[in-house]
Amino acid sequence: MVRLETLAHLYIDANILLVASFLVWSLAKRSLATLGYSQAHRSHLFFAQVTLLAFGIGSCAGLLFGPDGVAGLPLQTLSDWTVRQYLHGNIALDAMTFQQVLNSRDIWVDAMISQTMPVTRAILTLLALGALVHALKLVRQGLGLRKILGQAYVWRTSRRTRVLISDRIDTPFSTRGLFRFYVILPHVLLARPNDLKLVMAHEFQHVRNGDLTWEFALELLRPLFFWNPAFHGWKRDIERVRELNCDQAVIARLSISPQRYLSCLLRVCADSHEPAEPRVVLTGVPFAPKRQPMKAHNLLAERANSMAKNTEPTIRKRTTIAVSLFLAGAVGITAVAIQKQSGWSQDRIMLSTIVNLERLNAIGGMTRDW
């Protein structure tokens, strides 16, 4: 059975790794833009998903790695490297202070588990309340979505996908259940066949790309990482890149002009700003952004600029593999580096010896003073 202390360390490692993975992805994104691949949205989305997948695997590293490493192979953690640098004289601290800094994480974890400090009790209370609030919001979204699906009219159906018409929404969106995908369209689109065709192509592209699964996975992680800025950065980037990629794919597949597609997008946005019935919080991938006005405006402007350029640089397969390996490797190395090292290496034995000598020296000095 997994101990509470292990779970606490896993949670800390996961949050550190989430920040590190977002920084790695941001570096890769800027590098691709500098090299002239800012419009390669399909590759950007793939690289982001590779990095997130590496984060998911790396977050479980604490369950896989023991003090001696995987299958007995030694691991070089960040704490081991820090101890080695101290023994080489590269860190100007006395041994007892350095050991306290090195063990500060264990001290905080023990304090949070035993709840001996008011600060740790307050932190745990805030984390628990935040997680509960976001979990309840997720349940509310699910119930609202189920109500919309139940009241909508089934227009078309296939083996795994249903297209529904609803008079309770003003923005088309797609979502999924455990085994079936759903495309929900507002009834006003039935009066505009050309817009209806483009909207359906867009939503079905999300289904083909697997965007719905990624969206639900990220939403399920929200109660755990709601306070972490890196999580919100990931959500923002994934939403942005998937829409740009989907727009690009639909324009290319249907061989239509970007102006025609953008006109459709603007008309759907205009529909979403008209008075409608009381809003229902949705969990899904909408055709036109509208949750936050400023955020929606920025994304809409970026989609329009991307359509105006209407170019998709091709990244070679070898380059794609190399970048993917770099991203996964960087996240994997970070996952190993932040692991808590519970074993006794030669360097740690040496550090412990120095600490004990300093303590004996301090005791001897106190005895002479007395």
Best CA proximity match to 186, nearest among 168, 161, 207? 168
CA distance 265 to 72: 57
End-to-end CA, the chain: 51
What pLDDT shows up at residue 48?
97
Residue found by looking up tokens 């399909």 in the block: 42
The answer to whether 4 and 113 have CB atoms below 8 angstroms apart is yes
Average pLDDT estimate for 76-100 = 81
The beta-strand segments (E) located in the chain are 153-157, 161-166, 173-176, 181-186, 285-286
- 340 has pLDDT over 90: no
What pLDDT shows up at residue 280?
41
Which pLDDT band, with edges at 50, 70 and 90, does 336 fall under? confident
Residue 38 Cα distances to 34, 237, 257, angstroms: 8, 13, 21
Which pLDDT band, with edges at 50, 70 and 90, does 278 fall under? very low
- 243 has pLDDT over 90: yes
* Ramachandran quadrant class, 298 (left: phi over 0; alpha: psi -120 to 50; beta: rest): alpha
User: Both tokens of residue 324?
Assistant: 């993917």
What pLDDT shows up at residue 267?
92
- 217 has pLDDT over 90: yes
* Phi and psi angles of residue 186, each rounded to the nearest 5 degrees, phi first: -70, 145
What pLDDT shows up at residue 56?
94
Condensed to tens digits (0 to 9), the pLDDT of residues 109-154 reads: 887 787 777 888 888 899 999 999 999 999 999 999 999 999 999 9
* Ramachandran quadrant class, 272 (left: phi over 0; alpha: psi -120 to 50; beta: rest): alpha
Best CA proximity match to 243, nearest among 268, 226, 273? 268
Where do the H-state alpha helices sit in 183-316? 193-209, 211-225, 229-254, 258-272, 293-309
What pLDDT shows up at residue 292?
53
- 68 has pLDDT over 50: no
Supply the DSSP string of 7-55, one letter for each residue.
HHHHHHHHHHHHHHHHHHHHHHHHHHHHTT-TT-HHHHHHHHHHHHHHH
Q: In what order do the strands lie in the sheet with 153-157?
A: 153-157, 161-166, 181-186, 173-176, 285-286
* Phi and psi angles of residue 308, each rounded to the nearest 5 degrees, phi first: -65, -35
Residue found by looking up tokens 């588990």 in the block: 113
Average pLDDT estimate for 335-355 = 77
- 209 has pLDDT over 80: yes
Range scoring the smallest mean pLDDT among 11-25, 102-116, 121-135, 311-325: 102-116
Residue found by looking up tokens 């009834």 in the block: 187
The answer to whether 216 and 141 have CB atoms below 8 angstroms apart is no
User: Both tokens of residue 356?
Assistant: 């004990």
Coil vs helix vs strand at 323: helix
- 187 has pLDDT over 90: yes
Which pLDDT band, with edges at 50, 70 and 90, does 70 fall under? very low
